[in-house]
Amino acid sequence: MSGAAEKASTTKTPADFLKSIRGRPVVVKLNSGVDYRGILACLDGYMNIAMEQTEEYVNGQLKNKYGDAFIRGNNVLYISTSKRTLAEGA
């Protein structure tokens, strides 16, 4: 039983993941298929997202650049960490 208790203490929840990526480059995919790439500034329990240095991609093509962006949570399909930096064209 101690092995199960030990594993439970090291298991990360989705909330832990979201807290750990704040301030890091992320990709936010919307239900419409549009991607937003930038720095995750903050998010709340409704998955409303504030981003900085945001770039909007439609069909893989850069369409707009925004300083700050706010995305309503009910439009979010997923949030992923970006493996490349924004300067490299994540």
pLDDT of residue 16: 87
Q: Identify whether 47 is part of a domain.
A: yes
pLDDT of residue 19: 87
Q: Identify whether 13 is part of a domain.
A: no
Q: Identify whether 44 is part of a domain.
A: yes
Burial 36-49 (b: 16+ CB within 10 A, else e): bbbbbbebeeeeeb
Q: Identify whether 48 is part of a domain.
A: yes
Q: Identify whether 27 is part of a domain.
A: yes
Q: Does the pTM of the predicted model rise above 0.85?
A: no
Q: 71-83 pLDDT, tens per residue?
A: 999 999 999 997 6
Structure tokens at 60: 């893989």
Work out how many domains the chain is built from and give that number: 1
Q: Identify whether 8 is part of a domain.
A: no
pLDDT band for position 90 (50/70/90)?
A: very low
**CA 74 – CA 41 distance, rounded (Å):** 18
pLDDT of residue 38: 97
Taking the chain, what is the end-to-end CA distance rounded to the nearest angstrom? 44
- Cα–Cα–Cα angle for 27, 41, 85, nearest 5°? 45
Q: Identify whether 90 is part of a domain.
A: no
Mean pLDDT across the stretch 13-41?
93
In the chain, % of residues over pLDDT 90: 63
What CATH number is given to the structural domain containing 55?
2.30.30.100
